[in-house]
């Protein structure tokens, strides 16, 4: 694992992925069980794959807020065109060393659609899950050698 990937893994593990759904607001974490009410809401959606994804700060390089906002609008449009329901989300670095990143909770029939959206918007990883299993970080770029 490259030094950058290792540093990102630590940072992403110390991030709360907050999602807003019709069932309420939920804080998700990589490798942690889903809140029961969120898991029940996911089951009711009938969509097996989901991800929390942002278009902010591609490649983990900070961009101005206006550019991040435009990229997120483009991500929401692309997700809707791909048939993914879109719900607001925000990634919050608990160490306070990175700005909050608005993004989205996306639902899809196939995980490949979600990974393709992440790659299209140059993200290093997304938080993804299958059904109501605990979510994992899904790396989107090839590992550095």
Domain residue ranges in the chain: 3-139
Structure tokens at 139: 């790396």
Computed over every residue of the chain, the mean pLDDT equals 93
Q: Which residues contact 77 (CB under 8 A, 6 or more apart)?
A: none
The predicted model scores a pTM of 0.93
Over the range 119-131, which residues count as b (16 or more CB within 10 Å of their CB) and which as e?
A: eebebbbbbbbee
Q: Percent of the chain scored above 90 by pLDDT?
A: 80
Which of 135, 145, 93, 90 lies closest to 114 in space, CA to CA? 135
- Residues 68-84 have a mean pLDDT of 97
**What is the structure's pLDDT at 96?**
85
């Amino acid at each position: 694992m490259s030094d950058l990937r290792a540093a990102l893994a630590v940072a992403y593990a110390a991030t709360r992925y907050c999602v807003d759904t019709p069932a309420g607001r939920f804080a998700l974490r990589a490798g942690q069980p889903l809140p029961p009410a969120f898991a029940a809401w996911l089951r009711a959606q009938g969509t097996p794959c989901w991800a929390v994804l942002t278009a902010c700060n591609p490649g983990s390089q900070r961009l101005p807020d206006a550019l991040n906002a435009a990229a997120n609008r483009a991500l929401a449009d692309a997700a809707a065109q791909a048939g993914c329901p879109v719900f607001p989300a925000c990634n919050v670095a608990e160490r306070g060393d990175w700005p909050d990143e608005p993004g989205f909770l996306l639902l899809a029939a196939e995980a490949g659609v979600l990974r393709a959206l992440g790659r299209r918007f140059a993200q290093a990883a997304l938080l993804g899950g299958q059904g109501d299993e605990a979510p994992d970080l899904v790396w989107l770029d090839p590992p550095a050698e």
